[in-house]
């Protein structure tokens, strides 16, 4: 203010100004100065000023929001029940303490974690008609979802390798996929997923965000948060993308090669019953892998020209909500050993509850 006054009102011309005109000139200069300062502050990209993000609403009307809430609740409860039963059955039944079921136990735990990262918040937003998620919660959601989804993809690759060894090299199965090897491979899957999530989360939230705080997705997803960035660090993103593509391509190629060898070995089996048993254990896993790979690749590699909120939400539901809910069904429908263990667990649970209720009545 003083600077403006000294520049504009000094010199001999000030003596010819009336007090009224001088006050008017001071007010005009002050208004211009405040407007300039406001414009400069508004144009400065500062992600630290963002305290929350606004997620995409799944519906605009209240009845549709409640319908989405009940649908998500049903899917979430089905995923909790199915994966919880598989985890408990594998952990409690000593007959299922084999490498295949050990990997299936890890898959069930990852599915429980991934669907619990995204769906409860979406349900709460639909029920309470809100869209906000805090900056910290969004970062935690990105990290956990990336971690669990990456670890699951690597675990699916290990499950393909397990089926390959069981069918193509049955005599070496105990050596190649022993208990120590299984624990090491599972730990590597979890560790690689953790590293991948740390790198991508740190890269995403280190970007300056200046294009608003509206995320065009029902949960915090990396591509949609990066759209809010003021700048795009091509070199850093290229290095991270190369790292991720290298890992995921290796997993994809390993899975394809494993199943090529599996199908060749199965088709050479003389017994129809043996072929049926081999296909019953491999086809469900192949269906899960195909769904995960296709939807994941489409999400991160699709061109922006065909992108739309409706398509993005549909694809996100296919790879984040549907697999945790249908995986227990896929893996248990044609697996007699797992179905038997689950039925025994359910009968034990109901019989225990029945005995407890009888003892309480007495």
Q: What is the tens place of the pLDDT at every residue in 279-332?
A: 777 777 787 887 777 777 777 666 666 777 788 888 889 888 988 998 888 888
Which tokens sit at 179?
A: 């208990």
What is the model's pLDDT at position 357? 54
Report phi then psi at 280, rounded to 5: -65, -25
Residue 56 main-chain phi, psi, to 5 deg: -75, 130
Kindly indicate the confidence band of residue 36, based on its pLDDT and cuts at 50, 70 and 90. very low
Summarize the confidence of residues 191-208 as an average pLDDT.
90
- CA-based Rg of the chain, rounded to a whole angstrom? 29
pTM (2 d.p.): 0.79
177 and 99 in contact (C-beta within 8 Å)? yes
Fold of 52-361: Rhopdopsin 7-helix transmembrane proteins (1.20.1070)
CA angle 277, 161, 238 (to 5 degrees): 140
Distance CA 295, CA 318 (A): 7
Query: Which residues are CB-neighbours of 224 under 8 A, at least 6 positions away?
Result: 215, 216, 217, 312
How far does Cα 18 stand from its chain's mean position?
69
pLDDT band at residue 110 under the 50/70/90 scheme: very high
Residues 6+ apart with CB under 8 A from 104: 86, 90, 159, 331, 338
* CA 333 to each of CA 168, 219, 352: distance values in angstroms, whole numbers, following the listed order: 24, 31, 26
Average pLDDT (209-219) is: 88
Angle at which helix 135-168 crosses helix 309-320, to 10 degrees, equals 50
Query: Does the pLDDT of residue 335 top 70, yes or no?
Result: yes
Residue limits of CATH 1.20.1070.10 in the chain:
52-361
Q: Quote the tokens at residue 316.
A: 């996100």
List residues bridging with 229 in a β-sheet.
Answer: 209
- Residue tagged 């005995």 (tokens): 355
What does the pLDDT look like over 227-261, one tens digit per residue?
A: 888 876 666 666 677 777 777 778 888 888 988 88
**Closest by alpha carbon to 107, among 53, 162, 60?**
162
Q: Is the pLDDT of residue 9 over 60?
A: no
- N-term to C-term CA, the chain: 87
The number of residues in the chain equals 362
- The answer to whether 255 and 156 have CB atoms below 8 angstroms apart is yes
Q: Is the pLDDT of residue 17 over 70?
A: no
Q: What is the DSSP string of 233-249?
A: -HHHHHHHHHHHHHHHH
Please give the Cα distance from 293 to 263 (Å, whole number): 20
Distance, in Å, from the CA atom of 221 to the CA atom of 307, rounded to the nearest integer, reads 14
Q: Which alpha helices (H) appear in 9-60, and where do they start and end?
A: 19-43
Residue scoring higher pLDDT (57 or 238): 57
Q: φ and ψ at 133, to 5 degrees?
A: -140, 135
pLDDT in tens, 123-171: 999 999 899 999 999 999 999 999 999 999 999 999 999 989 988 888 8
């Amino acid at each position: 203010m003083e600077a403006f006054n000294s520049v504009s009102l000094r010199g001999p011309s000030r003596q010819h100004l009336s007090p009224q005109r001088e006050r008017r000139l001071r007010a005009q200069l002050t208004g211009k100065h405040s407007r300039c300062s406001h414009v400069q502050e508004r144009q400065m990209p500062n992600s630290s000023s963002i305290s929350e993000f606004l997620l995409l609403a799944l519906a605009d009307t209240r009845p549709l929001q409640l319908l989405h809430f009940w649908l998500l609740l049903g899917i979430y409860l089905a995923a909790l029940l199915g994966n919880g039963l598989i985890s408990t059955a594998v952990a409690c039944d000593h007959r299922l303490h084999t490498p295949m079921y050990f990997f299936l136990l890890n898959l069930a735990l990852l599915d429980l974690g991934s669907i619990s990262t995204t769906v409860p918040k979406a349900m709460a937003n639909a029920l309470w008609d809100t869209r906000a998620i805090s900056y910290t919660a969004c970062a935690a959601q990105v990290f956990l979802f990336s971690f669990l989804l990456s670890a699951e993809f690597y675990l699916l690759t290990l499950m393909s390798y397990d089926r390959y060894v069981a069918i193509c090299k049955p005599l070496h199965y105990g050596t190649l996929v022993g208990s120590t090897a299984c624990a090491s491979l599972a730990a590597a899957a979890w560790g690689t997923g953790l590293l991948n999530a740390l790198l991508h989360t740190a890269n995403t939230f280190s970007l300056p965000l200046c294009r608003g705080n509206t995320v065009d997705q029902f949960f915090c997803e990396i591509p949609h948060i990066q759209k809010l960035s003021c700048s795009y660090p091509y070199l850093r993103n290229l290095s991270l993308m190369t790292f991720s593509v290298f890992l995921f391509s290796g997993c994809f190629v390993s899975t394809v090669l494993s199943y090529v060898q599996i199908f060749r070995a199965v088709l050479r089996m003389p017994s129809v019953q043996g072929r049926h048993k081999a296909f019953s254990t491999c086809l469900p896993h192949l269906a899960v892998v195909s769904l995960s790979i296709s939807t994941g690749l489409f999400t991160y590699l699709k061109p922006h020209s065909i992108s739309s909120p409706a398509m993005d939400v549909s694809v996100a539901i296919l790879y984040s909500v549907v697999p945790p809910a249908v995986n227990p069904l896929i893996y248990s429908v044609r697996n007699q050993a797992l179905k038997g263990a689950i039925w025994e667990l359910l009968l034990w649970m109901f019989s225990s509850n029945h005995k407890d209720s009888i003892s309480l009545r007495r």
